Amino acid sequence: MNQEVFYPLKSIGEVFSFIFGCVKVDIEHEKETLVDNFNEIFNSNINFHEIEPLLSKFCYFFGFNYKELSEKFKLLDDKLNARKNFVYPPVKNCLFCNDSLIFYEAKEILTYTKNGSQIMTFSKFKCSFCHIIYEIDRYLIRGEWFYYSECLSNYIYLSSYIVFERSLLENLNVHIIKNNVSFKGFTDAYNEGHKNVSIKPLCRKRLSEIWFTYKIRKFNVKFGLENSYFDPKFTEQYLQNNISEFIAIYSNYWTEKHLSECSSKFLLCKNSSKVIKQIFYKNLTNLLLKVCFDGNQKCRRLRCLAEIQPEIFCDETPVLESYFCIKHKENTVNLSNEEFSQPIDFDSIIDHRNQASKGYEYKLKFDSVPEFRWMPESYVQKWPNALNIFLKKINNYSDSECNVEKDLCYNKRKTGAVVTGIISCGILLHFNEILKGESLNSVRESVH
């Protein structure tokens, strides 16, 4: 090597490393870092101002145009950066025959990440022997979906049009625990914080749907339960079908975890394991406890409007876009009551507004003068069918849009959330859903 030509570099290794370093870093902005690191590694003494002349010197000797070359590097760099938005399935080999997978197809999907929403490319792979399709969070066998059961993937599908990054949901998790954040609050903060980078704002409803999906799947993974596929739009039904199993597993887990750390006397819930029950009965004579029952109003759900007996209503959750559960799907809101009859000249509900002090008001259209009249919500609620038509019109349910006004809903019947029984040292005895307020009944159910 000609020492004169490549001065101040001393060996071919230094020349190679120098060029490699220049290619790797964006030299416009990181010249100083490059020089510092280079000098430290090679114990040399290159000057910051020598980089540009050195590069043009190399190009001259090898017959390249420096400017042209740097533009090509820039292009290469952009392409490499774009590849960061590619997401691959978490498995490289077929879970059943261990064959290596081959590329099947890729799709661009709106993705909510910790750094705002963006379009990312999600690829599917395939086992050519078993014909199983592997996606980022699930695999398809003969038309049936299964979630990966050993772990949660880094990205989770809400639908085939929307994906969430898992770290965003973990972030939400921390905020719920530490800050009591609501879905609305988190959504607003997310949209405000990322408004300059997000290609589409986050929607509260979508966030709550993916949140419950994520929590259920995390629960299943943690306790080694079968991670069967369920539609994120129907998490309530999924929970309802499995709730007693979930409560039993969770009570046991909490009790055992607590017992390993707790030195005080304890009580148990009815689902506790055999081992714990034995310890419990040994200590029974020493037992003197104060149990605190308290309600938590956060987790509430809608209830079916069907009246089973006079004044006794169905406990089930209504199905999507209905006021009734699956069992009472055929019910209609009762119109026989005289209160419900509409004036003959009533045409339809055409608008609504929120009057802070008076609540919602509705603009009604009549066939007689005055043609348009603003009426309070209490008045309009007597005409559920007309209201229903209006609500459906403004609440156009769609995956990509969110124009739902959450307070504007005819069905005001909600559960009263959950009641918990806790000992002073923090052990959770039991929790139950309460249908109305905190009542003695709900407490009694917890005790028995």
Residues that bind Zn ion (CB under 5 A): 94, 96-97, 99, 127, 129-130, 262, 264, 304, 306, 314, 316, 325, 328, 425, 427
Smallest separation, CB 433 to Zn ion (Å): 15
Looking at the Cβ atoms of 96 and 397, the one nearer to Zn ion is 96
Task: With beta carbons less than 8 A apart as the criterion, state whether 373 and 383 touch.
Answer: no
Beta partners for 102? Answer: 126
The three-state secondary structure class of 115 is coil
Smallest separation, CB 255 to Zn ion (Å): 9
Which residues make Cβ contacts (< 8 Å) with residue 444, sequence separation at least 6?
none
Looking at the Cβ atoms of 96 and 223, the one nearer to Zn ion is 96
Q: Taken in order 229, 235, 241, 244, is the CA torsion positive or negative?
A: positive
Which residues make Cβ contacts (< 8 Å) with residue 110, sequence separation at least 6?
117, 118, 119, 161, 162, 163, 199, 200, 400
Pairing of strands 144-147, 155-157: unpaired
CA angle 167, 173, 174 (to 5 degrees): 95
Distance CA 103, CA 115 (A): 28
Smallest separation, CB 328 to Zn ion (Å): 4
Looking at the Cβ atoms of 21 and 89, the one nearer to Zn ion is 89
Smallest separation, CB 260 to Zn ion (Å): 10
Question: Which 8-state DSSP code applies to residue 302?
Answer: B
Task: With beta carbons less than 8 A apart as the criterion, state whether 190 and 113 touch.
Answer: no
The encoded tokens of residue 161 equal 């049009």
- For 173, 174, 181, 186, 192, the CA distances from 189, given in Å and listed in that order, are 15, 14, 10, 5, 5
Looking at the Cβ atoms of 67 and 277, the one nearer to Zn ion is 277
Smallest separation, CB 305 to Zn ion (Å): 8
Smallest separation, CB 26 to Zn ion (Å): 43
Smallest separation, CB 284 to Zn ion (Å): 16
Looking at the Cβ atoms of 172 and 304, the one nearer to Zn ion is 304
Looking at the Cβ atoms of 129 and 281, the one nearer to Zn ion is 129
The three-state secondary structure class of 303 is coil
Looking at the Cβ atoms of 331 and 342, the one nearer to Zn ion is 331
